[in-house]
Structure 1
Amino acid sequence: MRRILADTAPLRNKDYARLWWAGVVTVIGAQLSVVAVPQQIYEITRNSAYVGLTGVFGLVPLVVFGLWGGALADVMDRRTLLTITSVGLGGTSLLLWAQAAAGLNNVWILLGLFSLQQAFFAVNQPTRAAIIPRLLPTGQIAAATSLNMTVMQFGAIAGPLLAGALIPVLGLSTLYLLDTIFLLATLWAVIRLPSTPPLGETTRAGLRAVLDGFRYLSTQKILLASFLVDIVAMVFGMPRALFPQIAHESFGDPATGGFALGLLFASMSVGAVLGGVFSGWLPRVRRQGLAVMVCIALWGVAMIGFGVAVWFAVPGGSAVLLWVALAFLAFGGAVDMVSAAFRSTMLQTVATDEMRGRLQGVFIVVVAGGPRIGDVLHGAAAAAVGTAVAAAGGGVLVVVGTLVCVFVFPAFVRYRVRKDGTPEV
């Protein structure tokens, strides 16, 4: 069982353990807002195309501040930067609560605050990821990545389920307030981290530093390929912008949100947590590139199955097909967790510390920005052809795109690591 269950060796490091345990709480809070923003927009507009606009308003700050934040993480003390951005995330959650509690019902104010929150997130996440190799030895990076993915996905289960239960009782605004309170746990853990000043020579975190990161990335073909295959998966195969409409029209939720909505948002993370709990085998996989390609193809298959289940659902609610749809989403979440763990491990081990922050910035732009583009495309597609066709068609495009990448990037498919986790030359 020890070879199957998750490797918890990184938790013996007190600094990493505090950051990880705090994440259990704060990720739940963050996921409350993930449900609240699209649900509030759907309540105001009753239109998935408007919900899809969260992709546009989230993508722009993710790109700009993700790249700049990665450069900042290479020239600033990473603990200081994490402290600043954690406070910023809490402040924007508080403003989101204020607009909801005041009943403004203005979709543009809501989207503006969402963009501000994503800007702080875009700086916080590459910094948080770049600090891990300064806390742990290289041999524990894969295990730490799996643990991080697991706790993130655990929050993505508990958060939506809690949101679905709380919205009818306490109202949507309460979700934003809880997110604000939960962020205090991460702030406590960050303050107690050791100082992590930049290693080696530093420059200003301006455009030149960002371009230096891209020039370095252009020499790392494995990392380039890992970013591209994730874009294929998330742009074409992430149907989350459709969840409010699917929950309402296909599975019987009220338009104001309900339990089916929470289940849809949580189901991918159920699979991801199960994949994380039984991730003890991941550090023993040496052909990581091939594993990523297989997982992304299976993600596409899962989204096809989800769309088919929605297609056959009886308007107004179908309990059996709801659980079938949830099972496909859960399977997709499991394979996506494995893919993400391997891709993050590649980045942590291939990139040098001097460039790790900037490449983590690009990574966050890809990982978080891809689904934002997917929100826009799925919202527009659903308005034209319906939610079921939009979801299943996206899955087909993922499978086709993966097969294309297999032929275009044979070196990525052959990518291997040694037993100690370092890349084979």
Structure 2
Amino acid sequence: MKKIKYSNFFLLGIFIYIIFHIISFIASKTIQTQVLENEDNKMKISRKCIIVRDEYLLKSDINGTLNLLVDEGSRVSKSQEVASIYNNVDSDIDEKINALDEEIDKIKAGEINISKNEINNFNENIELIVSKIQNDLLEEDYSNIKEYKETLSNYVNDKNKLLNNGIDTAKLSAKEDEKEILENQKNNNVFTCLSSIAGIVSYKYDGNEEKYTFTNLDSITKSDIQKEVDNYKEIKTNSKEVKSGDIIARVINNYDAYVATYIDENEVSYFEENQSIVLCNNDEEIDAKVYKINKENDNYIAIFKINNQNMGIYDTRVKEFDIIYKQIEGLKIPKSAIKTVDNKEGVYVINEEDKTPNFIELKGIIYEDDDYKYVDYYKNKIDGVSTVDLYDKIILKPNIININMKIE
């Protein structure tokens, strides 16, 4: 009986040994690992933002017909004319005044009453006399020179008299009176809209231009950001009737803008005043700085300032941005892979020769977030620090089983 029992125990031991190795083999095949690479890591949060610009709405002071003088998207200088509004006068009054200026110039130049043929006849006669004088001088015949000179003088004097007397003074006076009447009509009935700032002209507005201003930055709340939507409206175009107080254009200072968003309490440590950040949307990257952080109850409002970007999003109030607050180059270690052994933080690195995991202490940690720690690979290499290395294969979720087995 004892022999049978010992035999059974022996067979049971062999069976357990085989099962253990089978389980270990299968487990080694399913262990998650990661090869370490030196990466350019971007620390970011994604957030809805409100864009605040230095912008100015141009409004009409009278009822009338609108005439826009600047194309949308064009840049204007301070005090430049952007539009004209005509009340009880034709919108082409400027064209009529310009046409009168041309007629007046022509009258003063004597071009109205003198035909080209008359001028040509004088020029031909003068050239003929000059030619005769030259021929006689070559042949040394001086008998007719005096007569030719008198004739030449008479032609020149007659031509000058014709030119000087060609101005129709009556017609000139009438045209100047007509121009004066039109100019008086224009001065009394045409409102010229001037830009109060230098910037880009847009013919869209959303009605929030006076709410979201540089002076009201501290008043922006999380609720404002969450509920705000884009609601830009088209402004009336050329030859449309406008009323006093109607908005006719918007001028935007494209050199300065702010972006406001909310951040959680656990995110506020990522930002500090004057810190450089990058705002990303699709393929667009915009450099900015942290202008200020305002506390609002349990929330924080971050204000970012954009300088000299010529940011071409003039007709957008709300935009989703990836806010990159830090960029790190290094080895990215998941916190799930980190264990503490003998009061040292480290990871299990698989030895490529015998496939066994070895505990390696992490050194040169330069940053950590909720999920990862980052090791400065190049600095460790230069300083000769013994720690994890480029292309090390680490176990992502080490436990008592997989740290004591060969990893296939």
The answer, yes or no, to whether TM exceeds 0.5 is no
Which structure has more relative contact order (CA 8 Å, sep 6+)? It is 1
Answer 1 or 2: which has greater strand percent: 2
Task: State the TM bucket, normalised to the shorter chain.
Answer: under 0.3
